[in-house]
Structure 1
Amino acid sequence: MSRNVILTCALTGAGDTTGKSEHVPVTPEEIASDAIAAARAGASVVHIHVRDPQTRQGSREVALYREVARIIGESDVDPVINMTAGMGGDLMVDPSAPAERLGRIEGTDLVSGIERLAHVEELRPEICTIDCGSLNFGEGSMVYVSTPDMLREGAARIRELGVKPEMEIFDTGNLWFANQLVAEGLIDPPPLYQLCMGIPYGAPADPGLLQAMVHLLPGGAQWASFAIGRNQLPWVAQSVLLGGHVRVGLEDNLYLRKGVKATNAQLVTAAADIIDRLGHAVATPDQAREILQLGGRR
């Protein structure tokens, strides 16, 4: 049976990717321009991180989010705006450092769950993310910190703001806790889950594991999934076939095919083609709002 599939474009992320592809947007103008191009290519939702224009690294600066939102808001497209609220959880741990220096190693950006919402407080996007657990993030000594107390406090505040939380699930324990947030009434229906696959060292990009995680979702949930790198576009089909929505974009993958660097709009076009070939339709932004029970542009 044909259905409308929400297609999210994750525009830039916070990873160290700007030196790997000239297409990764950095400035607010570049990020907004990519959001507009992605929406014109068919994206239902644009997922927004911002970067410091000087360092080109991920940033929590509210003014940068404000400028991206302003430019998109003044354009001729109206995608659902989904802003990350995951920045501010990075803890660098040097096992050789004196105990008094732990938590103050270069690269640490660790603030409270509420402080991670500063831009959400001001801009009230339709959706913001909430990362539902801590994770050994890649090689080295970085831990992403998102504790149960932080998550409960953050979920309650997001609910008060009238913003839809997209619960980011990096492993099965994250899913267990996200279901607990739903059971405690901290997440309004329908709950929205993003199953994030293939990110070291969380859930591997295994179709059987995705199916098992989908089976653990509560009734009435809306969900999407994505996988990083070369698995990104094949994962569009995996997600659609299991009844989910999809995400692509340069946050998670830099290539359209082997050796061919992609733009965000090209990845959206490719994903839309996969959805169409599977007999479904890409949801318009307003159809996405209806599916997720959002209030529309603010």
Structure 2
Amino acid sequence: MSRKVILTCALTGAGETTTKSENVPVTPEQIADDAIAAARAGASVVHIHVREPETGQGSRKVEYYREVLERIAASDVNPVINTTAGMGGDLMLDPENPLQPLEGTDLVNQTERLAHVTELRPEMCTIDCGSLNFGEGSMVYVSTPDMLRQGAAAIRDLGVKPEMEIFDTGNLWFANVMVAEGLLDPPPLYQLCMGIPYGAPADPGLLESMVKLLPEGAQWASFAIGRNQFPWVAQSVLLGGHVRVGLEDNLYLRKGVKATNAQLVEKAVGIIDSLGEQVATPDEARELLNLGGAR
């Protein structure tokens, strides 16, 4: 009997990708349109960031999230909505004067990071389970144990399902601690994020090792960025997990061919089907994740 695989489409992210592909959605209308197209192509879940329409830079503005969610709700599809709650953790440091943050720092407390979640109550939101040297340069993503415990408790109290973003093995260790402390309602949901400098490398053996550390009864997914996106769909399915694709993580359908979100979803659906499994409908995803019933 085939297994139901939850397929998430991460629509836009917050990275500097809008100048690299004209297909990356920027405005609330464009993001919503891509969410609807991805759901029609088979996505169970849409993962939503918002951007400043004029600049394309990542944003935390509640009104942008509201417009995206209202447009999706008015459509003919009902994907599970998963908003980021990771914006507001960026700390840019001057190597010569690290006590003076540089331009580009966007570091706020958990209440501000969760403002749109508190107001709009999406079915799911992310929580980034540790601090990380995020790529080259002087940026640190900040998510301390105290911040995480506070954020997890707040998300639980809102009745929203947290998706724990795991960028390295230490993140996984602490996520397991939060589960043991009862900060998350069952089943806990882990997203194993691979290949992001300088977190966990996109190594199949490492993915298998991380999966073995998950608590019994956990639901999990994994993704890898760039050219590893589609091989990672297969890796995740073969290890019993769920999957994620989308322009947040990869801009190409194949070498030299820029993708749309819907095209990435369609290709992932084909991979899942070729492995003998089935993509979960949004309502099947809700049941697997104990989201409290269908819309």
- Bin of the TM-score, shorter chain as denominator length: over 0.9
| 2:8–2:43 CA contact under 8 A, matched in 1 | yes
Q: Residue in 2 aligned with 1:278?
A: 275
- Match of 1:170, as an amino acid? F
Deviation at 1:295, TM superposition (A): 1.9
Deviation at 1:297, TM superposition (A): 6.0
| 2:121–2:158 CA contact under 8 A, matched in 1 | yes
Q: Is 1:138 matched up with 2:139?
A: no
C-alpha separation between the residues in 2 aligned to 1:149 and 1:95? 25
Q: Residue in 1 aligned with 2:170?
A: 173
- Match of 2:262, as an amino acid? A
C-alpha separation between the residues in 2 aligned to 1:296 and 1:218? 24
Gaps of 5+ in 1: none
Q: Residue in 2 aligned with 1:238?
A: 235
Deviation at 1:114, TM superposition (A): 2.0
| 2:283–2:294 CA contact under 8 A, matched in 1 | no
- Match of 2:35, as an amino acid? A
- Match of 1:212, as an amino acid? S
Give the secondary-structure state (helix, strand or coil) at the position aligned to 2:35. Answer: helix
C-alpha separation between the residues in 2 aligned to 1:53 and 1:295? 34
| 2:286–2:294 CA contact under 8 A, matched in 1 | no
Q: Is 1:164 matched up with 2:161?
A: yes
| 1:78–1:297 CA contact under 8 A, matched in 2 | no
Alignment of 1:2-21 (within 5 A): 2-21=2-21
| 1:126–1:296 CA contact under 8 A, matched in 2 | no
Q: Residue in 2 aligned with 1:120?
A: 117
Alignment of 1:175-194 (within 5 A): 175-194=172-191
Deviation at 1:31, TM superposition (A): 0.1
Instruction: Using structure 2 for the length normalisation, give the TM-score.
Output: 0.99
Deviation at 1:296, TM superposition (A): 4.1
Deviation at 1:269, TM superposition (A): 0.2
Q: Residue in 2 aligned with 1:207?
A: 204
Instruction: Using structure 1 for the length normalisation, give the TM-score.
Output: 0.98
C-alpha separation between the residues in 2 aligned to 1:296 and 1:141? 44
Give the secondary-structure state (helix, strand or coil) at the position aligned to 2:137. Answer: coil
The sequence identity of aligned pairs, in percent, is 82
Count of residues in correspondence between the two structures: 295
Alignment of 1:32-111 (within 5 A): 32-97=32-97, 102-103=100-101, 105-111=102-108
| 1:192–1:222 CA contact under 8 A, matched in 2 | yes
Q: Is 1:269 matched up with 2:272?
A: no
- Match of 1:40, as an amino acid? R
Give the secondary-structure state (helix, strand or coil) at the position aligned to 1:114. Answer: helix
Q: Residue in 1 aligned with 2:254?
A: 257
C-alpha separation between the residues in 2 aligned to 1:115 and 1:297? 29
Give the secondary-structure state (helix, strand or coil) at the position aligned to 1:91. Answer: strand
| 1:193–1:221 CA contact under 8 A, matched in 2 | yes
Deviation at 1:96, TM superposition (A): 2.2
Q: Residue in 1 aligned with 2:152?
A: 155
**Per-residue deviation, residues 87-120 of structure 1 (Å, max 9, x unmatched):** 00000001123x65x22x1000000122100000
| 2:272–2:279 CA contact under 8 A, matched in 1 | yes
C-alpha separation between the residues in 1 aligned to 2:10 and 2:252? 14
Tell me the C-alpha RMSD between the 2 structures: 0.9
C-alpha separation between the residues in 2 aligned to 1:148 and 1:284? 34
- Match of 2:77, as an amino acid? V
C-alpha separation between the residues in 1 aligned to 2:241 and 2:291? 18
| 1:14–1:51 CA contact under 8 A, matched in 2 | yes
C-alpha separation between the residues in 1 aligned to 2:25 and 2:69? 15
C-alpha separation between the residues in 2 aligned to 1:146 and 1:72? 30
Show structure 1 runs of 4+ deviating over 3 A.
none
C-alpha separation between the residues in 1 aligned to 2:65 and 2:254? 31
